[in-house]
Structure 1
Amino acid sequence: MLRVLTLSTLFPDATRRNFGVFVERQTLGLAAHPDVDLRVVAPIGLPPFPLALRGRHAPLATLPLGEQWKGVDIYRPRFLALPGTAGRFHASLLTRALVPALADIRRDFAFDVIDASFFFPDGPAAVALGKRFGVPVSIKARGSDVHHWGTAAATAGQIRAAGRSADGLLAVSEAMKRDMASMGMPGDRIRVHRTGVDLGQFAPADRPTAKAALGVKGPLVVSTGALIERKGHDIVIDAVASLPNVTLLIAGEGSHRATLEARIASHGVADRVRLLGAVPHGEMAALLAAADVMALASANEGLANAWVEALACGVPVVIPDVGGAGEVVTDRAYGRIVGRTPAGFASGIAGVLSDRTPAATVRAGAERFTWEANTAGLYDHLSGLVRRG
């Protein structure tokens, strides 16, 4: 029996059910493996008292320290996240908080390996904890956890050091693996471990009926992701503004909302461009299945789950050449890789609309990405680290 301790600061809780849903799905898949016993440590970063009891932090402070989450034992220890430090001390403070927590867990659960499913601050902390408890460590890179923290002055050194010290590394795409190797991480320890998609949940539907449920007529573009600058929703808004009779629905919430609302107003397209706010992941399939195109103009990605979910719903994607884009859009039927400009996206969206590719043909692009393959690959990777000592 392989005893796995999964460490992730990116994991859902009762106050943030969409937070880290792909980490959750990967973890639940591994936990269901017949030869795996698994516990999850999902630390909660809070600022110093009394800030921890105010604003967006207040609900997090009330979460239980331990609970059963969808059949898995999960621990939610707190660690100090100092504001205004650009993350410089996150990993060291996380490590300090986790030493007693893991020592307590280890009394009843002698874990064989630490599986850090997000690179920062989890990765550097996992390396330190692996040395302390004498177990191998794996760290997974997903995208911004390396692209942002791995280039920021305050944290880049910690990311690189953790990557060099970990016993094994996972990357969501070949492109992500190349980026990690270019930062000095040992390429022979990096395994490509792609995401999965629930092909039962995400599936084509009757598109006119799905559009009618959303109050939409005519061509529909959907974009998903947090309303933050690097997601590039402004680019997609500009593109759709130049395409008459095309509707755009954006699912997500974030600090960039007011800026996007102003952009929509400036184009005079409030009648056909809508910000939906946060959409529960369980409702995302119905939204995607209504779309003719999924467009996401991210500045960087590893391999976005949103791309694969759209394909599974029979919806082509229009995306820039970032991360594993070329590993997903391997056929014209699956969409377009375009320049990260309004003109590039307008051209790509128009091209997909003119193609009218059957949904079943598009869905074939997602059938390479299954959670079963994800689980098998993760088990093989982690058990291999344990066998090698």
Structure 2
Amino acid sequence: MLRGAKVGRQLARISGCRYYSKSEVSASLSSSYLKGHVRTDPVNVLPKPYYGGIHMVTLYTGSSIIGQQGAKFVSSLLQSSRVPVEVQPIGEEDEYFKSVLRNRAAVHVDINADEKSKARALKICNDLDLYVFKTRTRSFPGYKCRFPCVDIQMIGQNNMGNYSELEYSPVKGVVEALSVVTQAGNRKYLEHAFAAAVDAGRKRVTLVNKAKEWPLNDGAMVEDAKEIHCKYKDCLELELMEVEECISRLVTNPSYFDCLFASDRYATFLATICSGVCGGANLFSAVEMGDNHAVFKPLQTKLSLTNYSNLSAYGIISTIVDLLEYLGHRHCANELWDQMMRTMDDGICTVEFGGKDSDEYVISNINNQLKCTGLGGDEHSEKSE
């Protein structure tokens, strides 16, 4: 009797299709690793770009009108905050990666969903090992949220599985796509996610998975999560939930959730649902983080939502708040956030949320009211406390 590979070769001869042996598939995977589709080497880390007490930050604007408008908002907010942060505008895609590698932090305000832009975003995530994606969605009264008291912290995996881009066609009309995950990658993500949840003051984390359908892929992450959770069981509750149940609860009772963990297979569309439930992606921001680099984006940009004609002022402000916190200017970040909440309480609202004001007016109003102390602001706030 024919067994194993012999059966495959015999069937290939009969059907006229090419047979791929185990060694050929392994060689294909190895070549994909060598090409950089799956990161195996550590990221080259340059010295911190801190010149004369000023942080340098990459500002990617692209060539679109939306990107140019977003860049003006970012620059004006940083100038009004008087923080020691200077942006380096980048419009050329070829210079973007080098600038982020050098500056370690970037603000991305362009929205593009074409194949080239997607490839560039994946390259940066892989080459800089930005293995975590974070966004926080919450309800703002009067801003299209049907549910009160919603506050969900999303911490998703960002550069495993589908990000490997491993696909090939063994025969005409047949395509195989591989989702490659590693235990080391899963554990690194989960260690960061649990620590971030504790730092954010969260009490319960929900790991969204399909371990029943994917026992080796999702099942491995579930087992690692249970093991790592033992270190945090005194301050964090771990809940395992199937994707279908999670989606059902998000659209009917989103206030049930506190913090969501998910692999890259589910993180992006769960973030889309969370933002939609809370009023829209144009209210929120996102960040892709690694151990040494971070890229900050309005959630519109992260989700590549091209149905918007412009970048929302609220998403830009939230992005700058995240950036300032990351750079250590927490006092100025809190002040900027308070000013955005003040505009909402004062009834200053853009057209997309039923108001009559423009995004430029919202930004200008906040710029006129900012009271950040700028240089030494965090030290001043600590002394005042």
Normalised by the length of structure 1, the TM-score is 0.31
If you compute each CA radius of gyration, which structure gives the higher value, 1 or 2?
Answer: 2
More helix by share: 2
Task: With a CA cutoff of 8 Å and minimum separation of 6, indicate the structure with the bigger relative contact order.
Answer: 2
